[in-house]
Structure 1
Amino acid sequence: MFKSTLIALTIVLALPYACAPAYRFDAPRAFTGSHFYNPYASSSHTWHRANLHAHGRSWLGLTSASQTDAEVADAYRRRGYAVAAISDYQKIATEAGTDALPAYEHGFNAGKHHQLALGATRVSWFDFPVWQGVDQKQYVIDQVRKSAALVAIAHPSSMSGYSYSEDDFRRLTGYQLIEVINGRFTAENLWDAALSAGHPVWAIGNDDTHDISDPNRFAIAWNTIDAPSKAPADIVAALQAGRSYATLRIGDTDGTEDVTISSVDMHDDELTVTTAGPEARFSFVGQNGEVKKVVRDTKRASYAFIDGDSYIRTVVETPARTLYLNPVVRYDGATLPWPSATIDRWLTSFQRGGILAVCALLTLSLVRRTPMWQRRGRQARKLPRVAAFVIPIAAATTGRADAQDAPKPLPTALREGVAYQSSFDAALVAALPAADSVFSFLETAQAETISTRISGGGLGFGAAPR
């Protein structure tokens, strides 16, 4: 019984991996161009403090959170936050007072590869439960963004067990934000890996609180967003354009703002950052995370781009705060580049075929673990029923190969989501005749196997069970 259960569980866990295509990722390529994209150029000079990652009690208390969604949102508002998004696991908060920005945290896998879906309209329930390589991570991003305005990679380095690597960020695409600050954990090296490979992704910083009474997880990290209003559409547009910066509170300092950004300007090839508050240390960071220049004890600092600079981002530090500004990047003056991930159809077919073959063998093994001469009629019917669960799902997904494109605004993403659902349903229907042929073959093979085992004393995959 234990072995049969283990085999059945293995089949169920393997099925999602038959869905993932194999991708061809663009080679890493630094930003190029004679123009500079400054995300702060079209500033409204109206700044909103926001936390985009917090958890309340949900799923009948099964998740580790101490307060309700409404209590969490209210605590942030009382602390002076304009936007307090509740990002429960696989659930968009609907309680009164939690509508600042519809969001949820996606992911239910052993490696804790999670994403924040911001401006979400529905929850994506697809995930790979055990292991995830870069192809699986990319496929999940593709699924999540179909019903979300923005996708952020959550806590990429908050503990050593979270296996996002720098190479992942040189290749992954289709997301817009990376959680550079999660509580007191930072991931500058991963952000620089993405930027150095030509991915225009922006930094966010969040508490990721599960208990607002924990001083190490409440009002520790936040985003300051430049938007004309705190309406969800304006907040999403500002985040997508990079008009925000992330702040980390240092030590036990109080909740006052301390140092803030006044302006970020580009004049010809010179970047100038001006702050309000106490004097600070300015670090200008470029390709591969190299610190290009440091200016101390000032409220205004500048850096002149040289030919080898593909991007420059600024870090502003005081004893009480560290501010991470989004980078100024080179581009062609028209649109920012979006590296792509396209489907390798041949490798995808080979990969899916191998997984299906393993599932079929495991299914046969599962069916053959009972005395067929005692349950011949019942077991002969069992295999097609099991196969009917496995094959249509995988067969329907083998035809899906959407080329990766640049992230879309929410209305376009929603239209694509509807189209995707319809195409999936159509593929499923189209796959059924082929699946029926496979079922007939398997049923015939099963009947022949039963006959052989009865007449031959247990020949086949193994000895007859006793």
Structure 2
Amino acid sequence: MKKRIFFLLCALLLGMVLLENLYTWIFLKADPTLAQAKIEWARFENPYKRKTSLSWQKAAIHLHTDRIWFTPGRNSPEEIETVYAANGYKILGFTDYERITLPEKLSSIKGYEWGMNLKKRHLTVLGTEEVTNDLFPIYASVENMQWMINKIGSQGGFIVINHPLLNDSFPLKILSELKNYNALEVFSPFGDIPKQWDKLLSNKVPSFCMASDDLHYLPREEYIRIKTSGLPNWRDLSSEIYKQEGESLMRYVLINTDSLEESEVLKSLREGNYLCVRKMERTLQDPKLGPIGMKGEEEIFFEFQDTPLTVEFIGQNSEVLLHTAYSKRGSYKIRPSDSYVRIQAIFPTAVVLSNPFFPKK
């Protein structure tokens, strides 16, 4: 009898979820083709136009903590902050599932990860005071996702499409149709997608890059290094049992900003005034960089402190427009036929991506 009641309650709950998702699928829609007309092309012309007081401040975005009830074995905000601060990070963005969590010591950006659905269509949302819940747990069409992006955008959120390759959650066709998101997770532990990003840019679907650890667990050796003594907790047990090999200290962004205040950091993110970095291995040194920008209205340049193995200026459909090797300085003059140009630098320790420059229209 008790089993029957249990299964009836489960069936009732599932039925309610299905009915709710049916309602949201039918009524909560937005046409992505209408969003196309809203693109402000001028803000993509030169992401590095604004000169700032601070340059290349190291930031980690998309970090999960133990503050959600169903993730008790993950690291605490204090543990994550300790490890990242020791490795030169100045800004953190915790993105727990539909919950805002803030670090205590480092500068922070309020954020959360939207998405509690079967397809694992997740978005990083930064800079909002409130959390928007996932109304499409079973299924969402492109029109449903556009509606949600528009809603979060109307609240002032900086929106990143997370890990497109995970569960094939955002195939290229869907990414090509969606509009009004700010950035795309080009560097992710679930797969790097610079060529897919190029295809979107080539099809006039502009976005900035994002590089994220998508941290779920600190690697065991890093956790042991900073753990405090005391009674064993969930994290101690899971670390011993599963020998977790979490992703940390591998993917980050370097932001030009006037201060480490949230409003200033968000301003720079919206401008694309930052770089995306993926290290070859977490223990390697960070590459030492310098200014990237434009001379006049046509010449894109870079100046680095460390010597890169190669620097490439990349354009339409991933075409290499100019290739340099072992050069700390270089430039490329935009041609009339170039639809966009981005810089890709490979160092012995890391790969660095600039955001795209779009010629004036």
TM superposition score normalised by structure 2:
0.81
What is residue 199 of structure 1 aligned with on the other side? 205
Q: How many Å apart are 1:278 and its aligned residue?
A: 2.2
Distance (whole Å) between structure 1 residues aligned to residue 35 and residue 100 of structure 2? 36
On the 8 A contact 2:110/2:129 being kept in 1, the answer is yes
What is residue 258 of structure 1 aligned with on the other side? 287
Equivalent residue letter for 1:75: V
Counterpart mapping for 1:270-289 below 5 A: 270-289=299-318
1:213 to 211, 219, 222: 219
What is residue 233 of structure 2 aligned with on the other side? none
1:169 to 175, 189, 193: 175
Distance (whole Å) between structure 2 residues aligned to residue 32 and residue 176 of structure 1? 12
Equivalent residue letter for 1:275: F
Q: How many Å apart are 1:133 and its aligned residue?
A: 2.5
Equivalent residue letter for 1:235: V
On the 8 A contact 1:169/1:190 being kept in 2, the answer is no
1:52 to 38, 61, 75: 61
Give yes or no for the alignment of 1:72 onto 2:72.
Answer: no
Distance (whole Å) between structure 1 residues aligned to residue 142 and residue 152 of structure 2? 15
Give yes or no for the alignment of 1:296 onto 2:298.
Answer: no
On the 8 A contact 2:92/2:103 being kept in 1, the answer is no
Q: How many Å apart are 1:150 and its aligned residue?
A: 0.9
Give yes or no for the alignment of 1:13 onto 2:42.
Answer: no
What is residue 232 of structure 2 aligned with on the other side? none
Distance (whole Å) between structure 2 residues aligned to residue 326 and residue 278 of structure 1? 20
Distance (whole Å) between structure 2 residues aligned to residue 14 and residue 240 of structure 1? 34
Q: How many Å apart are 1:253 and its aligned residue?
A: 4.3
Determine helix, strand or coil for the equivalent of 1:91: coil
Equivalent residue letter for 2:265: I
| Structure 2 CA distance for partners of 1:39 and 1:24, relative to 1, 3 Å | closer
Distance (whole Å) between structure 1 residues aligned to residue 102 and residue 331 of structure 2? 45
Distance (whole Å) between structure 2 residues aligned to residue 120 and residue 266 of structure 1? 35
Q: Which has the larger radius of gyration?
A: 1
Deviates more, 1:303-312 or 1:63-72: 63-72
| Structure 2 CA distance for partners of 1:307 and 1:221, relative to 1, 3 Å | same
Determine helix, strand or coil for the equivalent of 2:94: coil
Distance (whole Å) between structure 1 residues aligned to residue 35 and residue 150 of structure 2? 19
What is residue 318 of structure 1 aligned with on the other side? 347
What is residue 84 of structure 1 aligned with on the other side? 92
Q: How many Å apart are 1:192 and its aligned residue?
A: 2.0
- Runs of 5+ unmatched residues, structure 2: 221-244
What is residue 180 of structure 1 aligned with on the other side? 186
On the 8 A contact 1:166/1:190 being kept in 2, the answer is yes
| Structure 2 CA distance for partners of 1:98 and 1:92, relative to 1, 3 Å | farther
On the 8 A contact 2:114/2:134 being kept in 1, the answer is no
**Pairs aligned (count):** 327
Give the structure with the larger helix fraction.
Answer: 1
Q: What do residues 218-253 of structure 1 show as CA deviations (whole Å, max 9, x unaligned)?
A: 100110000011110110000111110010001354
On the 8 A contact 1:86/1:98 being kept in 2, the answer is no
Counterpart mapping for 1:49-448 below 5 A: 49-60=58-69, 62-63=70-71, 66-94=74-102, 96-97=104-105, 100-157=108-165, 159=166, 161-183=167-189, 185-213=191-219, 217-251=247-281, 253-254=283-284, 256-332=285-361
Q: What do residues 258-311 of structure 1 show as CA deviations (whole Å, max 9, x unaligned)?
A: 242333223442222221112330111112222222211211222222222110
Q: How many Å apart are 1:98 and its aligned residue?
A: 6.9
On the 8 A contact 1:28/1:170 being kept in 2, the answer is no
Equivalent residue letter for 2:177: R
Determine helix, strand or coil for the equivalent of 2:150: helix
Q: How many Å apart are 1:65 and its aligned residue?
A: 5.2
Distance (whole Å) between structure 2 residues aligned to residue 241 and residue 88 of structure 1? 25
Distance (whole Å) between structure 2 residues aligned to residue 234 and residue 286 of structure 1? 30
| Structure 2 CA distance for partners of 1:122 and 1:308, relative to 1, 3 Å | same
On the 8 A contact 1:64/1:210 being kept in 2, the answer is no
Distance (whole Å) between structure 2 residues aligned to residue 104 and residue 35 of structure 1? 25
| Structure 2 CA distance for partners of 1:211 and 1:148, relative to 1, 3 Å | farther
Q: How many Å apart are 1:43 and its aligned residue?
A: 2.3
Q: What do residues 167-196 of structure 1 show as CA deviations (whole Å, max 9, x unaligned)?
A: 222221121111111237312133223322
Q: How many Å apart are 1:99 and its aligned residue?
A: 6.1
Deviates more, 1:113-122 or 1:5-14: 5-14
TM superposition score normalised by structure 1:
0.64
Distance (whole Å) between structure 2 residues aligned to residue 146 and residue 35 of structure 1? 18
Q: What do residues 368-413 of structure 1 show as CA deviations (whole Å, max 9, x unaligned)?
A: xxxxxxxxxxxxxxxxxxxxxxxxxxxxxxxxxxxxxxxxxxxxxx
Distance (whole Å) between structure 1 residues aligned to residue 28 and residue 163 of structure 2? 23
